């Protein structure tokens, strides 16, 4: 191991000490869901927004709320409804009759952690206002533009059951989310523990263990995590195999994919793999980091054809085939 990787390793070891503290605090309130908690931390560290999909009652909202408590940060939960307006989210100009001037009233978007609850319940103009803020990290009210405070992270939830009265996010906008998580049910043991906790009179709360500055510092260390050229090429091959499956011996996927993953997939795969290594206290990325995060980065970026639907092939089946075919360096 050459000395600079050793130095990065030591730095990562030092700077990632807070990860255990956060996980311990979150686990005081949340039972299980370690996959969701780890992915939320990956998003937080690599400055990427997250879309959470799962049936109601899986503690999606509670997990995000608890995570925000562990960081001394501003948290806003916005319940998306069909009558929500962009001004309800971003803010508006209010006319003051006394001095005849307009003053700016900032909306709930001016926070660090934003929970966009049931994002698919509100119309396109509200979704696009949120997505613009996510992308540009700034908000324009009237003629004034305000930069959003770092860290700024949007965690959006959507309910996959009810499609009536919802406005599905367009594919091009879903691409703005770094990760899309499918949140599953707890195990039997976890559910037993949930029952026991919820039926007790004492309520569990998480304490703040780090500050937003610690997150910003950790992000700087994250950018130094070493990634070998072979692994960079491996990431590009995975993404290109979704665009040109025939070139990678995946002829059977050619008619199943309408659009492959965008260049954002390559960028986010690299960032998320670095964050995954960071959470494992490593200063370098392994192919395993890429494989373990691959599904969450890609599942909302590969658009399947009608033929795939007819053959009952899901996006996850396609991505699994790609990950199993591309040679690991």
The pLDDT tens digits for 224-267 are 888 889 999 999 999 999 998 888 888 888 888 888 888 999 99
Residue 103 has pLDDT above 70, yes or no: yes
Neighbours of 59 (CB within 10 A): 19
Q: What DSSP designation does 126 have?
A: H
State whether 185 and 256 are in the same domain.
no
Helix (H, G, I), strand (E, B) or coil at 263: helix
Is the confidence at residue 162, as pLDDT, over 70?
A: no
Within a 13 Å sphere around the CA of 60, how many CA atoms are in the beta-carbon half?
A: 26
d(CA 224, CA 311): 44
Task: pLDDT band for 166, please (50, 70, 90 cuts).
Answer: low
What's the pLDDT at 145?
86
Beta bridge partners of 251: none
Q: Are residues 206 and 263 in the same domain?
A: no
In a domain, 249, yes or no: yes
Higher pLDDT, 298 or 3: 298
Instruction: Give the whole-number percent of the chain exceeding pLDDT 70.
Output: 97
Q: Rounded to whole angstroms, how far apart are CA atoms 42 and 218? A: 11
- pLDDT mean across residues, the chain: 85
Residue 54: exposure state from Cβ atoms within 10 A (0-12, 13-18, ≥19):
buried
Q: What angle do CA 152, 154, 157 make, to 5 degrees?
A: 165
For residue 38, count other CB atoms closer than 10 A to its CB: 17
Please state, in angstroms and rounded to a whole number, the distance separating the CA atoms of residues 281 and 15: 9
**Last residue of some domain: 153, 177, 211?**
211
- Closest to 157 measured CA to CA, from 125, 190, 191, 114: 114
pLDDT score at 290: 92
Residues 33 and 117 in one domain: yes
- Mean pLDDT value across residues 17-44: 85
Count of positions (residues) in the chain: 329
Rounded Cα–Cα distance for residues 32 and 151 (Å) = 26
Q: Kindly state the average pLDDT of the residues 214-227.
A: 87
Q: Does residue 35 contact residue 295 with C-beta atoms inside 8 Å?
A: no
Q: Facing residues of 157 across strands? A: 52
3-state secondary structure (DSSP) of residue 182: strand
pLDDT of residue 268: 93
Model pLDDT for residues 278-315, shown as the tens digit of each residue: 988 888 899 999 999 999 999 888 888 888 888 888 88
| Residue 163, pLDDT score | 62
**Contact indicator for 22, 70 with CB cutoff of 8 Å:** yes
Residues 279 and 63: their CA atoms lie apart, in Å, by 18
Q: How many CA atoms lie within 13 A of 79 on its CB side?
A: 2
Domain boundary residue, one of 180, 211, 242? 211
- Mean pLDDT in residue range 122-127: 84
- Are 215 and 151 in contact by the 8 Å Cβ rule? The answer is yes
> Residue 326 — pLDDT band, cuts 50, 70, 90?
confident
> 138 and 72: one domain?
yes
Indicate if the alpha-carbon torsion angle 41, 46, 47, 48 is positive or negative: negative
Q: Where does a domain end: 211, 240, 268? A: 211
Rounded CA gap, 216 and 214, in Å? 5
Comparing 120-134, 150-164, 263-277, which segment has the lowest mean pLDDT?
Answer: 150-164
For residue 280, give its domain range.
225-325
Distance separating alpha carbons of residues 241 and 250, to the nearest angstrom: 8
DSSP alpha helix (H) spans, 157-262? 171-174, 188-198, 212-224, 229-243
The total number of structural domains in the chain stands at 2
Same-domain pairing of 187 and 109: yes
For the purposes of burial, counting CB atoms within 10 Å of the CB of 321, is it exposed (0-12), middle (13-18) or buried (19 or more)? middle
Domain at 39, CATH number: 3.40.50.300
């Amino acid at each position: 191991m050459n000395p600079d990787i050793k130095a990065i390793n030591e730095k990562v070891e030092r700077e990632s000490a807070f990860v255990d503290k956060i996980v311990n605090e979150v686990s005081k309130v949340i039972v299980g869901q370690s996959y969701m908690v780890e992915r939320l931390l990956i998003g937080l560290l690599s400055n990427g927004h997250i879309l959470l999909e799962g049936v109601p009652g899986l503690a999606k909202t509670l997990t995000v709320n608890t995570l925000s408590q562990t960081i001394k940060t501003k948290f806003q939960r916005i319940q998306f409804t069909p009558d929500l307006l962009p001004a309800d989210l971003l803010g508006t100009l209010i006319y003051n009759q006394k001095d005849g001037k307009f003053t700016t009233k900032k909306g709930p978007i001016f926070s660090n952690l934003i929970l966009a609850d049931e994002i698919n319940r509100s119309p396109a103009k509200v979704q696009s206002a949120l997505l613009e803020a996510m992308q540009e990290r700034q908000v324009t009210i009237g003629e004034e533009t305000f930069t959003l405070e770092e860290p700024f992270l949007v965690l959006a939830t959507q309910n996959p059951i009810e499609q009536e009265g919802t406005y599905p996010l367009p594919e091009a906008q879903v691409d703005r989310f770094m990760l899309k998580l499918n949140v599953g049910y707890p195990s039997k043991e976890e559910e037993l523990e949930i029952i026991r906790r919820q039926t007790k009179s004492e309520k569990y709360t998480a304490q703040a263990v780090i500050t937003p500055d610690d997150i910003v510092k950790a992000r700087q260390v994250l950018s130094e995590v070493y990634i070998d050229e072979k692994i960079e090429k491996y990431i590009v091959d995975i993404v290109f195999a979704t665009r040109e499956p025939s070139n990678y011996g995946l002829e059977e996927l050619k008619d199943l994919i309408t659009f492959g993953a965008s260049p954002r997939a390559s960028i986010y795969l690299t960032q998320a793999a670095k964050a995954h290594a960071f959470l494992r206290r490593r200063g370098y990325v392994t192919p395993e980091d890429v494989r373990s995060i691959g599904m969450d980065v890609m599942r909302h970026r590969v658009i399947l054809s009608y033929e795939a639907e007819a053959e009952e092939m899901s996006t996850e089946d396609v991505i699994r085939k790609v990950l199993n075919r591309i040679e690991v360096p």
